[in-house]
Amino acid sequence: MATKKLDPLIEAPLTTEAVAVSGRRMSDSRPEGWINKIRYNLQFVRGRGAFEIGIVFVAIIVVFSIISAVNPKGFPFLKAENLSGVLTQSVPMLAILSIAVGILMVAGEFDLSLGFAITFNAIVFVRFTDMFGVWVGVIGGILSGVFIALVNAVIVVYTRIPSFIATLGMGFFWGGASIFINGTNAALLNPELTKDGNPFEFIFAHDFGTFRSQVVWLLILTVIAWFFLHRHKLGNHIFAVGGNSAAARAISINPNRVKLLAWTVYGLLSGFASVLFVARIPSVQPGGNATADFTLFAVAAAVVGGTSLLGGRGSVIGMVVGAALIEVIKNGLILAKAPGFYLQLFVGVTIVIAAIFNRFMEGKAS
């Protein structure tokens, strides 16, 4: 019986639509035209928090502006002095801390010692300035932030203690350490450094009329952080480790090394923010009570801006907008002469609502 010869499974490459599509590069599918590019970028950020919270922020600004226009004396939101104080002093400090905390949260970690660490870093900066000069003091304050972050990181990463517990305990340690090295009296920065014309004042706290030096630093650090987190492979590793550490290890990413990197970046930013804090308010009280609120507000700003409490999700722009939103609402409550506990009520409710909202929006990320 003759056996029918079977044709080879593949005799020649087939030119099909499927093959053609599979050979395309990702860059080939980028939209053309500025309208399509804007639509593509909006679709990309939608569901990641930055777009949604940006709309809320604009709405709050519009509402406050209308109220201020109707009642300029009772609610002077649009006064130049108020806008300068809020937008160019309060927002940059909180936004930089929000970026620091947000990057750490994307990696799946928390640091509840931030407020105490700011005090410790600020005291190191002041003491080093007195002994070695202001520029050595600036370096010392920043390196102090890195040192504290790495100490916390080693405890968290290598002992597997949850960062929530480890940094809560270490916060009290750094608060006590600030009293140990400076005593109970406030650490005071040399008044000459904060006078107009001094290089330190010009770089870190100068008033240019419509804005202050802190705004420039915020813009610089936001751009650097954005490129690092969203356009560099190390930023991709941070997202991967925060999203699924086991899966990241499976593709040859070392989770411990990536988390140490995230802690280091966090330490650099928090140390630098400590220097800005002293440049703005040239005294710091040991113990950490004066800076304790920074921990709560920085976490709140990151969460409001779309950073996931579970790790693996967040955006630098969202962190900055979240900080701006919180500071603007704080300013509105103060201008409206609301009782102090309203501010705490607002922050607490905001964190819970933002966490629920971000959880809901995670399924919409594209």
Q: Is residue 125 predicted with pLDDT exceeding 90?
A: yes
pLDDT higher at 212 or 43:
212
d(CA 89, CA 205): 9
Quickly list H helices, the chain: 17-22, 34-45, 50-70, 80-85, 91-106, 114-132, 134-159, 163-182, 199-204, 213-231, 233-243, 245-250, 255-280, 293-304, 316-335, 340-361
Q: What pLDDT does residue 48 have?
A: 53
pLDDT band at 101 (very low <50, low <70, confident <90, very high): very high
Return d(Cα 103, Cα 221) in angstroms, integer. Answer: 13
Asked whether residue 300 carries a pLDDT value surpassing 60, the answer given is yes
Tell me the C-alpha distance between 51 and 249, whole Å.
31
The two three-digit tokens of residue 177, written as one number: 């350490």
Domain ranges of the chain: 82-361
Lowest-confidence region among 12-21, 98-107, 133-142, 151-160:
12-21
Say yes or no to pLDDT of 362 above 80: no
Q: With bands split at pLDDT 50, 70 and 90, how would you rate the model's confidence at 293?
A: confident
Place of tokens 């936004």: 95
Biggest alpha carbon–alpha carbon distance for the chain: 107
Closest CA to 268 of 183, 136, 163, 147: 147
Quick one: pLDDT at residue 44?
A: 47
CATH architecture type of domain 82-361: Orthogonal Bundle (1.10)
**Least trusted range by pLDDT, from 2-16, 83-97, 296-310, 328-342:** 2-16
Other CB atoms within a 10 A radius of the CB of residue 262 amount to: 27
pLDDT for 357 beyond 80: no
Judge whether residue 1 has pLDDT over 60. Answer: no
SS3 percent helix, strand, coil of the chain, rounded to 5, is 70, 0, 25
The pTM assigned to this predicted structure is: 0.84
What pLDDT, on a 0 to 100 scale, did the predictor assign at position 10? 42
pLDDT digits 0-9 by tens, 218-232:
999 999 999 999 999
Which residue in this structure is represented by tokens 């629920």? 356
Contact 358, 303 (CB under 8 A): yes
**Is residue 23 scored above 50 in pLDDT?**
no
Q: Looking at this protein, which amino acid is placed at residue 214?
A: Q
Q: What confidence score (pLDDT) does residue 140 get?
A: 96
Mean pLDDT of the chain: 83
* Model confidence band, residue 348 (pLDDT cutoffs 50, 70, 90): confident
Which amino acid is located at 341 in the chain?
Answer: F
Token output for 276: 């800005």
pLDDT band at 17 (very low <50, low <70, confident <90, very high): very low
Cβ-contact 230, 220 below 8 angstroms = no
Query: What totals of helices (H) and strands (E) does the chain contain, helices first?
Result: 16, 2
Asked if residue 307 lies in contact with residue 102, where contact means CB atoms within 8 angstroms, the answer is: yes
Task: Note whether 305 and 323 are within 8 A (CB).
Answer: yes
CA distances from 124 to 175, 279, 298 (A): 13, 14, 22
Give the residue-averaged pLDDT of 2-13.
Answer: 46
**For 50-97, what is each residue's pLDDT tens digit?**
677 888 888 889 998 999 999 888 888 888 888 877 777 889 999 999
pLDDT score for 359? 67
Q: Kindly tell me if the per-residue pLDDT of 14 is higher than 50.
A: no
